[in-house]
A and B are shown apart, each in its own frame.
Chain A
Amino acid sequence: MCEMADLLTFGALLERHEKEIFAYALRLVGDRDDADDVYQETFLAAFRAWPPPRRGQERAWLYRIATNKVIDRARRRKHLVRMSDLRLAAPERDGVSLADLAAAIKVLPEGQRAAFVLRKVEGLEYAEVAQALECSEDAARQRVAEAMKKVREAMR
């Protein structure tokens, strides 16, 4: 779908961001069926709430919706989300295996886990992480720093 500066359609939003939103959902919930649900709920919520609140920041808006959907699901189920399936996650780096990383991320509290995945796996800027998690940029940095500390400790 063409890049229309001032004419955004559902399809344009979907085609631009569906891959990363699905991958993000899969990293957070760790299960394909659950990721499928989060992906669907995220885009349906975006379509129902149309138009996006701020032009040019649709990506952070989608991440915010997806994060909230994951947290809602976890609360409903009253147990921590799993992080066992990282097939779409970043490749092995610095001798750290995905399994190690997955295990380390698994023990993080929800807010820190989302901040860590958004920043360190999805590569979002801190401003975008803050928007996605509806917190200040400082708080986003703090969550990522805390998460990093815990991940490093877990992987020693």
Chain B
Amino acid sequence: MNVQLADAREHLLARARREGLETVGYRVVDSPLGPLWIAVGPKGVLAIHYGGEPSAAELARIVRTYGPGLLPDARRVDPVARELDQYFGGTRRRFDIAVDLTPLTEFQRRILSATARVAFGEVSTYAKVATQAGSERASRAAGQALGANPIPIVVPCHRILASDGTLGGYAGGLDAKRRLLGLERREVPAGGWPKRS
């Protein structure tokens, strides 16, 4: 983008923000796990999506909640990008940015809230998270809710493993899950920590 157009866009975004036309700002951020599409709404970060653009479902979820006012706004995403940089750089163990779980179901919110309580370097299981969320028999549903976690890394679903200690699944791919766990725990066996019989 040339300088004139970049300036014009800045002016446009400032006016759109002032008029309340911009409800959500987004930007693609580079990370050691590849590009991340990040969206920030009025209550906090709404989405961190692996890849340069959101999925249709992700976008539909945001538009249903906040309307079509999504605009490419680096300034709104900067605080999230900064904390992610610090996390990947090893200088941050806890995120301070607000997360917005409004567009999710009550069950998803409970599962993700329980997940958010698993500290840096710790791991838990789908079954434990389901129990903490008040649905002890819903570990499979907990796994699905975590697979659809719209705010990975910040809501640390990578810290949740299968009950047998294997890695389970991850929306960003198991390699990304291993790398995140490796960042926090140094050594991660290729398949996780399977329990010995």
* B12 partner, pick from A8, A35, A43, beta carbons under 8 A: A43
8 A Cβ contacts from A8-51 to B = 8-12, 14-15, 18-19, 22, 26, 32, 35-36, 39-40, 43-44, 47-48, 50-51
The answer to whether the Cβ of A96 comes within 8 Å of any Cβ in the partner chain is no
* A47 partner, pick from B1, B7, B26, B69, beta carbons under 8 A: B69
The answer to whether the Cβ of A2 comes within 8 Å of any Cβ in the partner chain is yes
A44 near B21: Cβ-Cβ < 8 Å: yes
B59 near A9: Cβ-Cβ < 8 Å: yes
The answer to whether the Cβ of B11 comes within 8 Å of any Cβ in the partner chain is yes
B70 near A10: Cβ-Cβ < 8 Å: yes
Contact A35-B21, Cβ < 8 Å, known A11-B70, A11-B71, A50-B68:
no
Q: CA separation between A4 and B62, bound complex, in Å?
A: 14
Q: CA separation between A156 and B54, bound complex, in Å?
A: 54
A7 near B63: Cβ-Cβ < 8 Å: yes
The answer to whether the Cβ of A1 comes within 8 Å of any Cβ in the partner chain is yes
Interface size class of A (residues with CB under 8 A): 20 to 34
How many CB-defined contacts (below 8 Å) exist between A and B? 73
A10 near B68: Cβ-Cβ < 8 Å: yes
Interface size class of B (residues with CB under 8 A): 20 to 34
| B22 and chain A: residue at smallest CB distance | A10
B59 near A48: Cβ-Cβ < 8 Å: no
Q: A2-B53, A43-B16 are in contact. List 5 more A-B contacts (CB 8 A).
A: A1-B72, A10-B70, A11-B70, A12-B70, A36-B8
12 A-B pairs with C-beta separation under 8 A:
A1-B26, A1-B72, A8-B68, A10-B71, A11-B70, A11-B71, A14-B71, A14-B72, A36-B8, A40-B8, A44-B19, A47-B16
